[in-house]
Amino acid sequence: MNTEFPSASEIKRSWHVIDAEGAVLGRVASKAAMLLMGKHKPSYTPFLDTGDHVIVVNAAKVRLTGKKEDQKVYRRHSGYPGGLKETTARKMREARPVRMIEEAVWGMLPKTKLGKHMYRKLKVYPGDKHPHQAQKPVPLAV
């Protein structure tokens, strides 16, 4: 008995919309990562990108539990000595709310070329409008 692997032409990609308003950041990110990887499909294969496209709206209204608003720290480094920049979640929400969801989802995807390809199918918007109505996205509850 041979194992069947889907070819590129057999992979059907659909579009999903996740409304992050009032939802917990980690739950939104884990749902989005699962859809991007394709783990919700019976044709899931770890070494193929069988996932769907994901649109996250209302990223600015995502919820953090506990004291994470002030204690969670986002770090980035310029590559130069002393180039570490730190930002709290409260300041990140004010400046770049989309980045919170993007970093959470990126942390849940594989750290390979395949993971980068999956990450490109993620679209995050701070408000409730998005330009992907033509793709007929299906709303998902978190």
Domain extent listing, the chain: 15-65+95-140
Contact 13, 35 (CB under 8 A): no
Is CATH 3.90.1180.10 correct for 15-65+95-140? Answer: yes
Rounded to a whole number of angstroms, the CA Rg of the chain reads 17
pLDDT given at position 7: 87
Q: Does 8 score more than 90 pLDDT? A: no
pLDDT given at position 18: 98
The residue whose two tokens read 């783990």 is 39
Torsion angle of C-alpha atoms 107, 21, 57, 61, degrees rounded to 10: -70
pLDDT given at position 9: 87
pLDDT given at position 142: 84
- Phi, psi torsion values for 123, nearest 5 degrees: -125, 125
Each residue's pLDDT tens digit, 68-108: 999 999 999 999 999 999 999 999 999 999 999 999 999 99
Each residue's pLDDT tens digit, 14-49: 999 999 999 999 999 999 999 999 999 998 999 999
pLDDT given at position 52: 97
pLDDT given at position 84: 98
Confidence of residue 1 (pLDDT cuts 50, 70, 90): confident
